[in-house]
Amino acid sequence: MRATETLISTLREVPADADIVSHQLLLRSGMLRKVAAGIYTILPLGHRVLLKIEAIIREEMNRAGGIELLMPIIQPAELWQQSGRWDVYGPELFRLKDRHERSFCLGPTHEELFTELVRQEIRSYRQLPLMLYQIQNKYRDERRPRFGLLRGREFIMKDLYSFDIDENGLDLSYRKMYAAYNRIFTRCGLDFRVVDADPGAIGGNDTHEFMVMADTGEAEIVFCSACDYAADVEKAPCPVESQTAPAALQPLQRVRTPGTHTVSEVAEYLGIPAEQVLKILMYVTDDEPVAVLVRGDRSLNEIKLKNYLHTNVLEIADEEDIAGRFGLPQGFAGPVGLGGRVRLLADNETKNLSNAVAGANEPDFHYRNVNYGRDYQVEDFADFRLAQEGDICPKCGQPLQLKRGIEIGQLFKLGTKYSKAMGANVLDESGREIAVVMGCYGIGVTRTLAAAVEQWHDQDGIIWPSSIAPYEAVIIPVGQHDSLQADLAEDLCRQLTDSGIDSIYDDRPERPGVKFKDADLIGYPVRIVINRDSATDGLVEIKWRASGAVERIPKDTAAAYLRHKLTTDDYPL
C-alpha cells in the first residue's frame, strides 16, 4: 500500500478537548475524528486496527463454539417492558418513536433480543447448549461523554450469550469464554489481569472482569505476581495477617500531644510507627453517627462500611458534626471512654493491636498503651479496610501489587433472570418445561483499541502491538525524488506484503523528518529507511518502534528476517 492512496491525516498540535493520552494520540495520529460529543468517525488507519482486533475476537469466539449473527441496533420497547428494564434503565437509554408513535430504543445491550430469539426458535434441550454472538454498535447517552473511545455514546461491542439447560452447562460455557478471552487479549498484545469482580461472595466466580493495566485506568487493581489473584481494590477482602505473640499489656498513660491532629503528626511526635496508632473515623449514616477504628497506616474502605451497614447513605463527619453529634474534639478522638456515646465498629486488624496510641477525647491529649478489652469495647469487628500494595495475597501469601486498570471485557452468569422474565423455556428430557440458563460475555471492541494506546505509547506517539498495528512496517525513502530509492521502496513494500507483513510505503511529498515523526506518532512496529547507498550496498535501516533499536540488514533478506522477528517473542509486544 502506498501512503498517497489512503488517508493519512496527522496533527502536530494536541487537540484542546482531548482529555487523556489515547484520545489525544488517536486524534493526532489520524485514526479518529470527533463528529459530536462521544461520537466519532474511525479513519482508515484506526479502522485497520479495529478490523484486526475484530478478526482476533471472531477467530477465538468461533474456536470456542460461538456462532455469529447480527441483531438490529433499534430495539422495540415491548421487549424491554417484558424484561422489566424499560422503566428502570434511566436517561442513559436512547429512546425514540417511529411515525406511528411506537417506542424504540438504541440498544445499549442485547439481552432482550437474544432471549427473545431463543424463546422463538429453541424448543428442546437437544438444541442446547448454544452460544450466539455478534459484533455490533451499542449506544449509551452518557451525561458527560469523555476520554474519547473509552467513554463514548456510540461504541462497538462483541456480545456473546450462552444458553444451557442447567448450571453445569453454564459453568462449562463460562469456562470456554474465560479461556477464549485470555487468548484474545494475549493475542492483542495487551498486559491484562482477570479480576474476580465479586471476590468476597460465597460461591463467587459468577463474574470476572478483564482489565488492561494502564495508569489512566478508572479502577485500582491489587494483583499478585506469583499467582493469578487479582481484585478490584474496592472489593478486595483483607485477611488479617498472622500475628506475633501479643506484647505484655502496659499501663494506660495519658500524654500531652499538642497540635497533633493527624496520625502522622502524632506518630512523629511520639516517635512511633503509624501502625501503632488507632485511627478513628467518624461518619453519619441515615442521620446516625458511627465511628470506625482502623490501624493508623490503613485506609477505610467506605464500600465495605456501606455494605456492613446496609446503607447507601454515608458521609464523613465534618468538624461541626464531630463537635455536635459526637461531642468530640477533632483530631483527638479515640475509643477509650467512648462506650455508649456512639456506635463504635472496628476493623479486624485493630483487635490484635497491643499498647496502641489513641486520642484521649480532649484537645492536645492522647493515650498510650491502649488495649482492646481492657480499655475499650466495640460493637463489632469486621473487614473495613482498603486493600493496599504490599498486602498479603489471599491465595498464595506473596505481597500484592497495586496498579490502575481499564475494563475491556466482562463475563457474567445471568442464570434464569431473563429467561424467566421473558418465558424462554425448553422441554427437558422428561418433557418438562424449564427456563434456559444464560450467561453473557462482552468485549468493548473500540474500548480495547483505546486501552491498547493507553498502555502502549511514549512521548512520540503510539507503540502498537504488531498483531493489531494499522501496518506492521512503514518504508521511507530518504530521497523521495530519487527514482532509484522510490523503486527500491516500492519493491521492498511488495516483497514484505507478499510474505505476509502488512506494509505501507510512505510516498507522500513530505520531508523525511516529517515522515519519521509521523511513523513514531502512528506507531508502526517497524520503520525501514532506504537511503542513497541502499542501491549499491543493498542494505536498509530498520528501527524498532518499541525498543528504539536500529540495525542495518540486507534488503533482500528483510522480509524473512522481519517475519521471524514479528512472529516470535523478539518483538516485545
Task: Find residue 560's DSSP bridge partners.
Answer: none
Q: Which of residues 209-238 bind Zn ion (CB under 5 A)?
A: 224, 226-227, 229
| Closer Cβ to Zn ion, 124 or 398, answer by number | 398
The phi, psi pair for 159, rounded to 5°, reads -130, 125
- Separation CA 534–CA 506 (nearest Å): 17
573 near 469, Cβ under 8 Å?
A: no
What the block records as the C-alpha cell of 490 is: 516500492
Rounded least distance, CB 104 to Zn ion, Å: 48
Please state, in angstroms and rounded to a whole number, the distance separating the CA atoms of residues 148 and 39: 8
Closest distance of CB 230 from Zn ion, Å = 9
Q: What is the C-alpha radius of gyration for the chain, rounded to an integer number of angstroms?
A: 30
Which positions from 419 through 478 interact with Zn ion, judged by CB under 5 A?
Answer: none
The stretch among 67-75, 182-190, 392-400, 446-454 that binds Zn ion (CB under 5 A) is: 392-400
| Nearer to Zn ion (CB atom), residue 235 or residue 543 | 235
Nearer to Zn ion, 398 or 499 (CB): 398
The cell numbers describing 513, all together, are 523528518
- Taking CB under 5 A as the binding criterion, the range among 193-201, 291-299, 349-357, 398-406 that sits at the site for Zn ion is 398-406
For Zn ion, the closer CB: 196 or 454: 196
Task: Tally Cβ neighbours within 10 Å of residue 502.
Answer: 18
Cell numbers 525501514 label which residue? 528
Q: How many CB atoms lie within 10 A of CB 16?
A: 6
Q: Which of residues 229-288 bind Zn ion (CB under 5 A)?
A: 229
- Cβ proximity to Zn ion, 123 vs 395, nearer residue: 395
Are 383 and 238 in contact by the 8 Å Cβ rule? The answer is yes
- Applying CB under 5 A, which of residues 8, 317, 393, 542 lies at the interface with Zn ion? 393
- The CB-of-237 to Zn ion minimum distance in angstroms stands at 13
* Nearest-approach distance from CB 239 to Zn ion, in angstroms: 12
- Look up cell 431473563; give the residue: 418
Nearer to Zn ion, 93 or 238 (CB): 238
Nearest residue to 205 (alpha-carbon basis) of 412, 382, 505, 400: 412
Dihedral angle computed from the Cα positions of residues 336, 342, 348 and 353, in that order, rounded to the nearest 10 degrees = -10
CB of 254 to Zn ion, least distance (A): 44
Residue nearer to Zn ion on the CB measure, 313 or 396: 396
Q: How far is the CB of 387 from Zn ion (least distance, A)?
A: 13
Q: Are 443 and 57 in contact (CB under 8 A)?
A: yes
Min separation Cβ 189 and Zn ion, Å = 25
Q: Which is nearer to Zn ion, 392 or 484 (CB)?
A: 392
> CA torsion, points 174, 178, 184, 188, in degrees to nearest 10?
140
Closer to Zn ion by CB, 18 or 222: give it: 222
Q: How far is the CB of 196 from Zn ion (least distance, A)?
A: 13
Contact 294, 312 (CB under 8 A): no
Q: Report the nearest approach of Zn ion to the CB of residue 167 (Å).
A: 28
- Using the minimum distance from each CB to Zn ion, give the nearer residue, 272 or 392: 392
Q: Using CB under 5 A, which of the segments 68-76, 395-403, 449-457, 486-494 binds Zn ion?
A: 395-403
Q: Should residue 396 be labelled a site residue for Zn ion when binding is judged by CB under 5 A?
A: yes
378 binds Zn ion (CB under 5 A): no
Nearest distance in Å: CB 163, Zn ion: 35
**Nearest CB to Zn ion, comparing residues 224 and 437:** 224
Q: Which is nearer to Zn ion, 127 or 225 (CB)?
A: 225
The answer to whether 494 contacts Zn ion (rule: CB under 5 A) is no
Candidates 97, 175, 254, 395; binder of Zn ion (CB under 5 A) is 395
Q: Cβ(276)–Cβ(260) under 8 Å?
A: no
Q: Are 60 and 187 in contact (CB under 8 A)?
A: yes
The least CB distance from residue 232 to Zn ion, in Å, is 16
Q: Provide the sign of the torsion angle of the four alpha carbons 534, 539, 543, 548, taken in this order.
A: negative
Nearer to Zn ion, 229 or 516 (CB): 229
* DSSP secondary structure of 215-263: TT-SEEEEEESSSS-EEETTT---PPPPPPPPPPPPPPEEEE-TT--SH
- Beta-carbon count within 10 A of 157 CB: 21
For residues 11 and 30, the answer to whether their CB atoms sit within 8 Å is yes
Stretch that binds Zn ion, among 64-72, 120-128, 396-404, 565-573 (CB under 5 A): 396-404
Q: In one letter, which amino acid is 320?
A: E
Instruction: Tell the smallest beta-carbon distance from residue 400 to Zn ion (Å).
Output: 8
Please tell me whether residue 330 adopts helix, strand or coil conformation: coil
State CA 362 to chain mean position distance.
45
# of chain residues touching Zn ion (CB under 5 A): 8
Smallest gap from Cβ 223 to Zn ion, in A, equals 8
Q: Which residue do the cell numbers 461472595 mark?
A: 201
Residues that bind Zn ion (CB under 5 A): 224, 226-227, 229, 393, 395-396, 398
